[in-house]
Amino acid sequence: MYNELTSEIIEQIKGVSDHVFEGGDINPDYSKDEMPIYGTKMPDLAVQPRSTEEVAAVMKICYENNIPVTPRGAGTGLAGGAVPVCGGVLIDTSKMNKIISYDLENFVVNIEAGVLLNDLAEDCLGQGMLYPPDPGEKFACVGGNVATNAGGMRAVKYGATRDYVRAMTVVLPTGEITKFGATVTKTSSGYSLLNLMIGAEGTLGIITELTLKVIPAPKVAQSLIIPFEDLDTALKTVPKFKMAHMDPQAIEFMEREIVLASERYIGKSVFPQELEGIQIGAYLLITLDGNTEEEVEGLIEQAAEIVLEAGAIDVLVADTPSKMKDAWAARSSFLEAIMEETKLLDECDVVVPVNEIAQYLNFVNETGAECGLEIKSFGHAGDGNLHIYQCSNDLEEEEFKKRVDKFFGIIYKEATDIGGLVSGEHGIGSGKVKYLLDSVGDVNMSLMEGIKKVFDPKMILNPGKVCYTL
């Protein structure tokens, strides 16, 4: 269905780009993202463009010759989205990494799509501004964050990546360059092509530049580690913050086993394991922010009262930068910690209504046991986005995949039945396409396919992802 990448086509691509890699010069990492269980595949050719025009010129040649193209950021995705499952050309956007300009009268920053989240976050703070989206992996490209609509810890207060994208420059599958959105704060100007691109996982176009909203950085932030005897009690506390007009920047939950794994991994113990003779079964990690020490201290006192009344065993305040760093280092290393101790690993980031989290997690744990899988969970208690890991050290890969498929079938169906969705922030990639179809149904899936065909009539951009099965 696609054409072979002949030496003539490669020569044409070399004619428009000085950043082409062939054969043994292609970075082996391009064959995978952070979830290789969904399959690996090397591209036939890789390009690391430096400009929108260079991306467009390469894309145009691929369109004319019917060659599949896969856009890639930093390859930290967890759904197989950046894997070139049909080979062809991989476009690595990570060298388009300039922070172009700030327009602080309009509260925006203009960047190239390959800027790393960490670099953008630090640069913004240097301007006294905050770029609020805060997914756990800081070394992802912001273009990748936009393509997956990455969420992260601060989404409960500030929203996900989508809420911060004002405009973008895009190279379409035909090689045409266009711009979606504008530096305005509201719009009722036709279909939102901008919003279609956000979360499209590189199936509709390649994002090359972004205009992102920033906000004045809150001056003070402090975190609380709150231990509970069990997860149910911990999760039931969460709506009480909203009822008390509190607006934590982050509300994360985590079970004992995952905290222990993470502390083994980072070699530091930050979370208490037993208090007053009670074994700690679950934790909330909360961050409160504001503009003065007094304001934040007041919020902390109020939060402490709420959680102690609701059954917390203690409240530990991380009130210095180093204590905060330690608490969040443990939280940020969950995935690496699990990877370190696990031979076979799959994960999902299902999202359910917040009032269903506790019950749903019980269902997940029971289903895991029935399917013969070890389950480890943590997640964003404030927005119902759960990270559920299936782990095995003794199963053969085929048997593991069979059990995970059964497990996913059951837990995604339950999530759909209670009003949830397949992915809260990681995306569908190649790994979750069939579960998306089960969840949204034929009508919605064919609407998505129709949109894909309008943008990409030859279906050459990132085939096999989201709504397009091969």
Ligand X SMILES: Cc1cc2nc3c(=O)[nH]c(=O)nc-3n(C[C@H](O)[C@H](O)[C@H](O)COP(=O)(O)OP(=O)(O)OC[C@H]3O[C@@H](n4cnc5c(N)ncnc54)[C@H](O)[C@@H]3O)c2cc1C
**Which residues would be at the binding site for ligand X (CB under 6 A)?**
33-34, 70-78, 81-82, 93, 113, 135-137, 140-141, 143-145, 147-148, 150-152, 201-202, 206-207, 335, 425-426, 429, 462, 465
147 neighbors 71 (Cβ within 8 angstroms): yes
Residue 418 tokens, joined:
């209670």
Distance in Å, CB of 422 to ligand X, minimum: 14
Distance in Å, CB of 68 to ligand X, minimum: 12
Q: Which is nearer to ligand X, 34 or 255 (CB)?
A: 34
Distance in Å, CB of 203 to ligand X, minimum: 7
Q: Which is nearer to ligand X, 290 or 463 (CB)?
A: 463
Distance in Å, CB of 310 to ligand X, minimum: 26
Nearest to 74 by CA among 178, 165, 147: 147
> Distance (Å, rounded) from C-alpha 11 to C-alpha 210?
31
Residue 292: strand pairing partners: none
Distance in Å, CB of 215 to ligand X, minimum: 19
Distance in Å, CB of 424 to ligand X, minimum: 8
Q: Which is nearer to ligand X, 140 or 313 (CB)?
A: 140
Q: Which is nearer to ligand X, 99 or 317 (CB)?
A: 99
Instruction: Give me the sign of the Cα torsion angle 423, 429, 435, 441.
Output: positive
**Cα dihedral 429, 435, 436, 439 in deg (nearest 10):** -160
Distance in Å, CB of 8 to ligand X, minimum: 26
Q: Which is nearer to ligand X, 310 or 339 (CB)?
A: 339
The DSSP call for residue 238 is H
Q: Which is nearer to ligand X, 45 or 82 (CB)?
A: 82
Q: Which is nearer to ligand X, 227 or 463 (CB)?
A: 463
330 neighbors 259 (Cβ within 8 angstroms): yes
Q: Which is nearer to ligand X, 383 or 403 (CB)?
A: 383
Q: Which is nearer to ligand X, 144 or 420 (CB)?
A: 144
> Distance (Å, rounded) from C-alpha 29 to C-alpha 31?
5
Token pair 């430096």 is at which residue?
50
Nearest to 358 by CA among 230, 224, 251: 230
Nearest to 300 by CA among 258, 238, 246, 352: 246
> Distance (Å, rounded) from C-alpha 10 to C-alpha 214?
41
> Distance (Å, rounded) from C-alpha 342 to C-alpha 382?
28
Nearest to 463 by CA among 85, 89, 78: 85
φ and ψ at 364, to 5 degrees? -60, -45
Residues whose CB falls within 8 Å of the CB of residue 101, separated by 6 or more in sequence, listed in order: 109, 110
Distance in Å, CB of 348 to ligand X, minimum: 13
212 neighbors 165 (Cβ within 8 angstroms): yes
